[in-house]
Amino acid sequence: MKPDLVVVGSGFFGLTIAERCAEELGLEVLVLERRSHLGGNAYSEKDPETGIEVHKYGAHLFHTSNEKVWEYVNRFTSFTDYKHRVFGKYQGQVYSLPMNLGLINQFFGRSHTPDEARALIKEQASEIATEDASNLEEKAISLIGRPLYEAFIKGYTAKQWQTDPTELSPDIITRLPVRYTFENRWFNDTHEGLPVDGYTAWLERMADHPRITVQLETDFFDVAEEFKGKVPIVYTGPVDEYFNNSEGRLSWRTVDLEESVVDVDDFQGTGVINYNDQDVPYTRIIEFKHFHPEREKTHLPGKTVIVHEYSRFAQEGDEPYYPINTAEDRAKLLKYRELAKAEPMVLFGGRLGTYKYLDMHMAIGSALSMFNNVLTPHFTEGAELT
Ligand code: FAD
Ligand code: NA
C-alpha cells in the first residue's frame, strides 16, 4: 500500500512523528530504518549473560522540564526514580561532580563556607580576564582558575577533542558552572528517571500502531526514487548525506565503546566515572547495572557489564555523535538549510537532519512542534510543507 507519509529513521524524532501522524491524523506511515533495529541511538538491549540493560550507543539518561514532553512520554513508559550523578577520577582520588563545594573542599584539602569558596575561585580566576581569552585553556582559567582547570577540565577536554586545549577555540565553552553547595545531582530538570522496562520497550510501544510499518535494514537512498516527490517525507538522517555532500561533509566527533563483562559484583560503585588524567586513554567508564538498582535481583551475581569510552573525530563510516560545529561547519550548514528548504515535500528533523546535539526530550519536543505546526496544517488544511 502507498503510505501517506514516509519517515526516514526510527529514533525518537522519527517515531514521535510517526506515532502522532498515525494516531491523530489517521495516516498510514512507513518508517524506513537502515539499522537492524529500531530506536536510533537510544536503543538498548539486555546483555544475555548478566541480564543487565546496556545502552548500545552510549549511556542515555532521560530528563526534562518540558511538561508537554513529560506528559507525552508517559503514555509509552513509566520512569524509575533514578537520579543521575557523576564522579571524576584525578590523580588517584575520586571527586563528586559537577564542580561543587564537596569537590572544592576535597581538592584544596580543607573546608570552605560557600562565601569562602566563592572568594577563592574568584581570586584564582582573576589571573586572566574572560574577554582576553584566546583559546579554551585561557577561557577556562578565566572562569574557574588554574588549579581546578588543570585537574578537571584540561585532561578530559584534551582527550575529548584529541587536541591540546591551547589549540581549541574559546567558544567551545561558554560557562563552567561551579556550585557553591554540596548538591551533586547532574541534571537540574523537573523530571528525571529511566524507563522502567528499558528504552527499547518504550520505543517499540511508540511504533506499535496498526497504521505504522517499520521497515528495518532499509536505506532510504536505495528506495528514494519510489517516494521522492510523490509522498511527504520526514527525513532524520544526516542532512549532508541527503544532498550527496555537495557542500562538503559536516564534521562530528564519535565515541568508541568497548564493552566487557568483568567477574566482580560491583566494579566502581556508581554508573559513571570520568577519567580526568590525560595519560588514561579513555574518558569515562560506564557501569550499567547502577542505572537500575531496583533490578538487582534480575542481574547475575558476581558479574557486571562495563564500557570504556574513547572519544575521537569521526571518519567516514563512523557513527556521528556530537556535532563539532566549526565556523566552516556553520557555513556549510547554512547552504544545506537553503537546499533543505527548497527540497519539495521533504522535511528535515532530528539531530542528524539539523546537525544539532539534541537530548532525547529536545528531539521529542521538536518533533511535536513539527507535527503541530507543519504536518497537521498540511494534512488537515492543505497548507504547504515547509
Ligand atoms: P537518532 O536516534 O540518531 O535516529 C536517527 C535514525 O535514522 C537512526 O536510527 C539511523 O540509523 C536512521 N537513519 C539515518 N540515515 C538513514 C537512511 N538513509 N535510511 C534509513 N535510516 C536512516 N540524550 C539524552 O536526553 N540523555 C542522554 O544521556 C543522552 N546521551 C547521549 C549519549 C550519546 C553518546 C549520544 C550520541 C547521544 C545522547 N543523547 C542523550 C541524545 C539522543 O541520542 C538523541 O536525542 C536521540 O538519539 C535523537 O533522536 P533522533 O531521532 O534525532 O536521532
Ligand atoms: Na577572570
Closest by CA position to 165, among listed 174, 176, 153: 153
The Å distance, Cα 41 to ligand 1 centre, comes to 4
User: Per-domain residue ranges for the chain?
Assistant: 5-82+192-248+324-381, 98-172, 252-313
Q: pLDDT at residue 180 above 80?
A: yes
- Element at 329 (helix H, strand E): helix 327-342
- pLDDT > 70 fraction of the chain, expressed in percent and rounded: 100
Determine which residue's CA is closest to atom 36 belonging to ligand 1. 321
The answer to whether 309 is a known catalytic residue is yes
Ligand whose nearest atom lies closest to the CA of 128: 2
The Å distance, Cα 318 to ligand 2 centre, comes to 38
| Mean pLDDT confidence for 156-164 | 91
CATH class for domain 5-82+192-248+324-381?
alpha beta
Torsion sign over Cα 372, 377, 378, 379: positive
Q: pLDDT at residue 1 above 80?
A: no
Question: Which residue's C-alpha cell is 544526516?
Answer: 238
Which amino acid belongs to residue 75?
Answer: R
Write out the DSSP string of 145-207.
Answer: -HHHHIIIIIHHHHHHHTS-GGGS-GGG-S-----SSS---S---SEEE-BTT-HHHHHHHHH
Q: How confident is the model at residue 386 (pLDDT cuts 50, 70, 90)?
A: confident
The answer to whether 357 is a known catalytic residue is yes
Q: How confident is the model at residue 314 (pLDDT cuts 50, 70, 90)?
A: very high
Give the tens place of pLDDT for each residue, 17-28. Answer: 999 999 999 999
Residue 175: per-residue pLDDT:
86
In 3-state terms, what secondary structure has residue 241?
A: helix
| Mean pLDDT confidence for 204-218 | 98
Number of helices and strands (H, E) in the chain?
14, 16
- Element at 235 (helix H, strand E): strand 233-235
The Å distance, Cα 33 to ligand 2 centre, comes to 48
- Element at 258 (helix H, strand E): strand 252-262
Choosing from 44, 57, 60 the residue with most ligand 1 atoms within 8 A of its CB, the one to mutate for a pocket test is 60
Give the tens place of pLDDT for each residue, 53-80. Answer: 999 999 999 999 999 999 999 999 999 9
| Mean pLDDT confidence for 332-354 | 97
Residue 6: per-residue pLDDT:
98
Residue 143: per-residue pLDDT:
95
Residue 59: per-residue pLDDT:
97
Q: pLDDT at residue 325 above 90?
A: no
The answer to whether 284 is a known catalytic residue is yes
Q: pLDDT at residue 137 above 90?
A: yes
Give the tens place of pLDDT for each residue, 73-121. Answer: 999 999 999 999 999 999 999 999 999 999 999 999 999 999 999 999 9
Question: Could you tell me the CA-to-CA distances from 61 to 47, 82, 111 in Å, in that order?
Answer: 18, 9, 32
Residue 174: per-residue pLDDT:
86
Question: Could you tell me the CA-to-CA distances from 298 to 263, 317, 334, 383 in Å, in that order?
Answer: 17, 36, 50, 51
Average pLDDT, the chain: 96
Least confident segment among 62-76, 157-171, 303-317: 157-171
Q: What is the pTM (predicted TM-score) of this model?
A: 0.96
ipTM of the complex: 0.98
The answer to whether 179 is a known catalytic residue is yes
The Å distance, Cα 56 to ligand 1 centre, comes to 11
Torsion sign over Cα 355, 369, 384, 34: positive
Give phi and psi for 384, each to the nearest 5: -65, 150
Residue 326: per-residue pLDDT:
87
Torsion sign over Cα 361, 318, 333, 326: positive
Closest by CA position to 203, among listed 73, 57, 341: 73
Residue 172: per-residue pLDDT:
87
CB contact burial 217-248 (16+ within 10 A = b; e otherwise)? ebebeeebeebeeeebbbbbbbbbbbeeeebe
Q: How confident is the model at residue 158 (pLDDT cuts 50, 70, 90)?
A: very high
The Å distance, Cα 129 to ligand 2 centre, comes to 4
Closest by CA position to 63, among listed 382, 373, 359: 359
The answer to whether 4 is a known catalytic residue is no
* Residue 349 CB neighbour total at 10 angstroms: 26
Looking from the CA of residue 319, the nearest atom of ligand 1 is: 36
The answer to whether 253 is a known catalytic residue is yes
Taking CB atoms and a 6 Å cutoff, what residues make up the pocket around ligand 1? 8-14, 32-35, 40-42, 57-62, 219-221, 236-237, 255, 321, 350-352, 358-361, 363
User: CA 261 to CA 49: how far, in whole Å?
Assistant: 9
Is CATH 1.10.3110 the classification given to domain 98-172? Answer: yes
User: CA 273 to CA 87: how far, in whole Å?
Assistant: 5
Of the listed 20, 35, 211, 284, which one is catalytic?
284
Of the listed 71, 175, 225, 263, which one is catalytic?
175
Looking from the CA of residue 361, the nearest atom of ligand 1 is: 25
Q: pLDDT at residue 193 above 80?
A: yes
Give the tens place of pLDDT for each residue, 244-273. Answer: 999 999 999 999 999 999 999 999 999 999
